[in-house]
Amino acid sequence: MSNFDPSRLGPVPGSRVAVVGGCGGMGRVLVRALLDTGVQVAVLDLPASLAQNPPPPEALAFAMDGSDASSVAAAFAELARRWPHLDGFVNLAGFFKGFTPIAELPVELFDEVIAGNLRCHFLCARAALPLLHRSGRGSLVSVASTMAVDVVKNYTHYGMAKAGIVGMVKGLARENAPVVRVNAVAPGLTNTAFLTGGTGRDKIFEGIPEEVYAKRVPMKRMAQPQDMAGPILFLLGAASAFVNGEMLIVDGGVYTQ
């Protein structure tokens, strides 16, 4: 059993945590929080994302396309050469494209969204799990979305991908316990580059004005990247040592069922 320090939310100092999507809005805040609390961090992200938002110099950085099996294998092989194990792994990767009803959605767009979300989380989890098992106290956190349970029209393909991630998390939690815990965070709409297409990707939306969306939220504001860092740190650390197979919704109270 891990030693629980009630004064500390996240992983203990010296822990090794890899973050897929660490160059995005949520990722940059999480990486900084981990580094500031003495955790070693490796960032894995698209080449364009690494160029757009380079990780802090004290973090390891690996270029990777999470939807490509050979790219994932190569990046994790290099990571394993640097680190013999992982104590934590977070996958923040995801993007949306194709604001269209399923009946009219081109198959190519469906495949692209499934690949950039569900396939990416599967490939990366499969690659990270052996390293997490070597820790003896590993924690895997996949970031899904409230769209997994509360799908907005024209986002059905995205909701399908995110629901698949939640299903994956629940299955992996049972397959890998008690050595590795597996959980999900499901953010509501968050003020990041996702709103315009995604970090390192082409801009396809103008974004959503915060004051418009905030009217739907009991907390009366849109989520900011830092709102997700705390829940992720909690799921990575010993404070959540008996939390396994859960989806933690972080949306200010929009989805309450």
Q: Could you tell me if 60 and 79 are in contact, meaning their C-beta atoms sit under 8 angstroms apart?
A: yes
Q: Which residue has the higher pLDDT, 223 or 128?
A: 128
Establish if 36 belongs to a structural domain: yes
Instruction: Identify the H or E element spanning 33.
Output: helix 25-36
Establish if 256 belongs to a structural domain: no
How many independent structural domains does the chain possess?
Answer: 1
Query: What CATH number did the domain enclosing 57 receive?
Result: 3.40.50.720
Give residue 25's domain range.
16-250
The string of pLDDT tens digits covering residues 57-98 is 999 999 999 999 999 999 999 999 999 999 999 999 998 889
Question: To 10 degrees, the CA torsion angle through 83, 238, 230, 249?
Answer: 110
Establish if 118 belongs to a structural domain: yes
Terminal-residue alpha carbon distance, the chain? 33
Establish if 257 belongs to a structural domain: no
The string of pLDDT tens digits covering residues 136-184 is 999 999 999 999 999 999 999 999 999 999 999 999 999 999 999 999 9
Residue 220 has pLDDT above 50, yes or no: yes
Instruction: Provide the 3-class DSSP secondary structure of residue 248.
Output: strand
Q: What is the pLDDT of residue 189?
A: 85
Q: What is the pLDDT of residue 9?
A: 84
Establish if 255 belongs to a structural domain: no
The string of pLDDT tens digits covering residues 195-218 is 544 455 465 555 667 767 677 888
Establish if 3 belongs to a structural domain: no
The string of pLDDT tens digits covering residues 238-251 is 999 999 999 999 99
Q: What is the mean pLDDT of the chain?
A: 91
Q: Percentage of residues in the chain with pLDDT exceeding 70? A: 91
The string of pLDDT tens digits covering residues 9-65 is 899 999 999 999 999 999 999 999 999 999 999 999 999 999 999 999 999 999 999
Q: What is the pLDDT of residue 195?
A: 53
Instruction: Identify the H or E element spanning 243.
Output: none
Q: What is the pLDDT of residue 200?
A: 54
Taking residues 223-252, what's their average pLDDT? 95
Q: Which residue has the higher pLDDT, 149 or 190?
A: 149
Residue 194 has pLDDT above 70, yes or no: no
> DSSP characters for 120-168?
HHHHHHHHHHHHHHHHSSEEEEEE--GGGTSPPTT-HHHHHHHHHHHHH
- Total-model pTM: 0.91
Q: What is the pLDDT of residue 196?
A: 47
Establish if 33 belongs to a structural domain: yes
Q: What is the pLDDT of residue 199?
A: 55
- Beta-strand (E) ranges in the chain? 16-20, 40-45, 60-63, 88-91, 138-143, 180-187, 247-250
Establish if 134 belongs to a structural domain: yes
Residue 118 has pLDDT above 90, yes or no: yes
Instruction: Provide the 3-class DSSP secondary structure of residue 236.
Output: helix
Q: What CA–CA distance (Å, rounded) separates 145 from 142?
A: 10
Q: What is the pLDDT of residue 1?
A: 46
